[in-house]
Each structure stands twice: as structure tokens, then as C-alpha cells.
Amino acid sequence: MIVLDLEIFTRKMNSVIRRYRTIYDLLEFLAISLIILLIAVFFNLDEIFKLIPLTEPYVGLSPDIPFFTVNYETIFLFFIVCLISLLILELVDRNRKRIYKAVKKTAPQRRNTQDVVEETYPELKDRLKTAYDNRDSDNFIAVELTRSVSSDVEGVSSTDLLDKKRLAYSLGAIVAACLFLGLIFFTGFTAPVSPGDILDKFPNGSLTQPPIIEENTSSNNSSSIPTEAPPIANAPGVDIDITLPPGAGMGPGDMLEGSENNFTPSKPYPPESLSSQHFYDNLPAGYQDIIKDYFEKVAENS
């Protein structure tokens, strides 16, 4: 009966401690999530979804949820915050020893149920584990120890096993983050910068500015203007008639009145002088030579 009491007590305390550890993990996850959310809201990080082509069409819209309205960018931000919080908890758990070593402290060992109970109740120090390990022994000393410990554990309260310091830290962080978030939501006070402002400082979203080709309108550019007429494309074996038809040198008014005008053959002019100036005003700098080279190559390959 005594052995059964110790086993029942151990299983009960083990269940209580697992439940408490789950509460600790949830509170720490909530605290980290609220702190990250506070940072994201203060620095207007939700505007980053306007810059992502995949999420930009959903910005400003909300799903059809009865009695509840929330924007898609808030949902996206919530999932990202949760993902980052889980990642932080996982990294901290895996690198706990390295973190304690960096601050020159010894990392606490993973304690079992007997360790937690004995730490909370010093009178059971080393007695509970010894009695539990020797619960099947017929030795008189072991039996008396088991009987004594079984009597002492009747005064153990499960609420005393709660790590109040760890719980206080998590609750304090949650309350502080909630207060600051409420202050931001009610006053609208945020940082004067946003992801869009930072991105605008870098042209084309890159750190390096592309080279700008300046158009030089001085007389030094006269050498780049072609002085010869472009060649006429001709297919092999095909004759092209390049004679002008009668009356080509006369305007419409002169043809109606029957006046005679002497035909003046045209001279080769650079393409810039025959094109609309409005076109070149809107043409980006540096593209004139590219367009000229393109049509010259087309003419050569024809």
C-alpha cells in the first residue's frame, strides 16, 4: 500500500509538472510574439506587404468573416510573427547551454519530478528519490524510509511546484507589450519610417545606382551623326525602280493650279533632323545610338 501511494504520488506530480511546463511555454511564446508584434507595428512593417507582388493585391482587403473584420496584411503579419516566435524558442532551447556559457553561468539541468518536489520541500531532500528507487526492497531500513516519505508527501501541494519567478517574467512581458500596443493603437504614434521609405533610398531596390548616360548636345557629338544616306535594301535578283514619278516635286496646291515647279533632289539628312522633337524629348538619354545601331543591323541583314 505504501509503495502504491508513492507511485500514485509520483505520477500525479509528474502530470502536474508537465502541465506547468506547457503553461510556461505558452506564456513565453505569447510574450515573444507580442514583443515582436510591438516592434513590427511601431516600425510600420505591415507596409512591406505592399512591396511584395504576391501579397500586394490583398493589401487593404479583408476576408468575409461574420461579425469580425480584419485585413489580410494583419493576418499575414500575425503568421509571420508566430513563425519567428517559434523559431526563436526552438533556437533558444537548442542553444541553451551556449547562451548560459556566453554569460558565464551554468545551464540548469532538466529536472525530473522528484528533483522539483525535493527542491520545493527541503525536508524531502534525497529521501524521496531514495525511497522511490527502493520501493520494491524488503530491507527494513528501506521499508521504514518509504513509510516515512509516504507520510510526508501527504502535505505536498501541487501549487507549490509552480515556478513563480518564471511565470512572473512571462506575465510581466505580456502586460508591458499589451500596454505599449494599446498606446500605439489609441494614439497612432509610430516611427516616422517605413519599409517603403527605406526602399526608396535605393534606386530600383538595389544598393548600387545604374550608370546614367548623359546626352551631350555640344558640337563634339557631330561626328556621331551619319553623313551618308542609309543603303537601300535589295533582294538578290530583284530590280528596284528608284525613279521619282512625275509631279513628285509639286505640292497639292501647285498641282491644282497647274503651276510648274522645278524638282529639287533631296539631300541625305541625319534622322534626327527629320524626326519629331517631341519624340526625342520623351526618349530616355542614351537610347538614340542604340536605336540607330538596331536599324542599321536590320538593313545590313535584309
pLDDT digits (tens, 9 = 90+) for 126-150: 888 888 888 788 888 888 888 888 8
Domain range enclosing 186: 2-205
Please, what sign has the CA dihedral across residues 162, 165, 171, 173? negative
164 and 228 belong to one structural domain = no
183 and 261 belong to one structural domain = no
Q: Residue 143 falls within a domain, yes or no?
A: yes
Q: Residue 9 falls within a domain, yes or no?
A: yes
Tens of pLDDT, residue by residue over 164-222, are 999 999 999 999 999 999 999 898 888 887 777 777 666 555 444 455 555 555 445 44
Report which DSSP code applies to 59: T
197 and 231 belong to one structural domain = no
31 and 172 belong to one structural domain = yes
Instruction: Select from 138, 172, 205 the last residue of a domain.
Output: 205
Which amino acid, 75?
I
What's the CA gap between 29 and 271, in Å, rounded?
70
201 and 264 belong to one structural domain = no
What's the CA gap between 281 and 283, in Å, rounded?
6
Q: What is the pLDDT of residue 82?
A: 94
271 and 189 belong to one structural domain = no
What's the angle, vertex CA 187, arms to CA 51 and CA 59, rounded to 5? 20
54 and 157 belong to one structural domain = yes
What's the CA gap between 109 and 46, in Å, rounded?
40
Q: Is the pTM here over 0.85, yes or no? A: no
Q: How many domains does the chain have?
A: 2
Residue 62 grid coordinates? 479583408
Closest CA to 117 of 106, 132, 103, 100: 132
Q: Residue 216 falls within a domain, yes or no?
A: no
Number of Cβ within 10 Å of residue 13's Cβ equals 20
